[in-house]
Homo-oligomer: A and B are copies of this chain.
């Protein structure tokens, strides 16, 4: 997959408008879209996983350097668009309350992770096929 390096050039090189040795990767984002736009994406799913881990929106948000405001907005958006809420939360109470990822939420996590893994494989396959036409 390595490519030949053109090293012998006649004359002087202009300010390097092209690079001699390049490798390309196929990158991308994928998400599940509902009525109001994004329903599930990598950020939202990661947030769900952390909420499940910590039992708290606040701590989940901090663990991924996300503001509570943003985290709360994402949870609200997901709950609005889901058939049944993915996260249930309660203020006050034992340890001040907390948040729980519902069964539906855990299914959403699993489904999206499968999707995202399939996407990763797709991108790898495409990177191979692309190599030819794009180079040279």
Contacts from A to B (Cβ < 8 Å): 17-19, 22, 24-35, 39, 79-85, 107-108, 110-111, 115, 118-119, 122-123, 126, 129-130, 133-136
Contact = CB atoms under 8 A, between A and B. Distances in A.
A30 B27 contact: yes
Contacts of A122: 118-119, 122
Q: How many copies does the complex hold?
A: 2
A33 B123 CA distance: 12
25 contacts: A17-B80, A17-B85, A18-B80, A18-B82, A18-B83, A18-B84, A18-B85, A19-B80, A19-B81, A22-B34, A24-B32, A24-B33, A24-B39, A25-B32, A26-B115, A27-B32, A28-B30, A28-B31, A28-B119, A30-B123, A32-B134, A83-B135, A83-B136, A115-B130, A119-B126
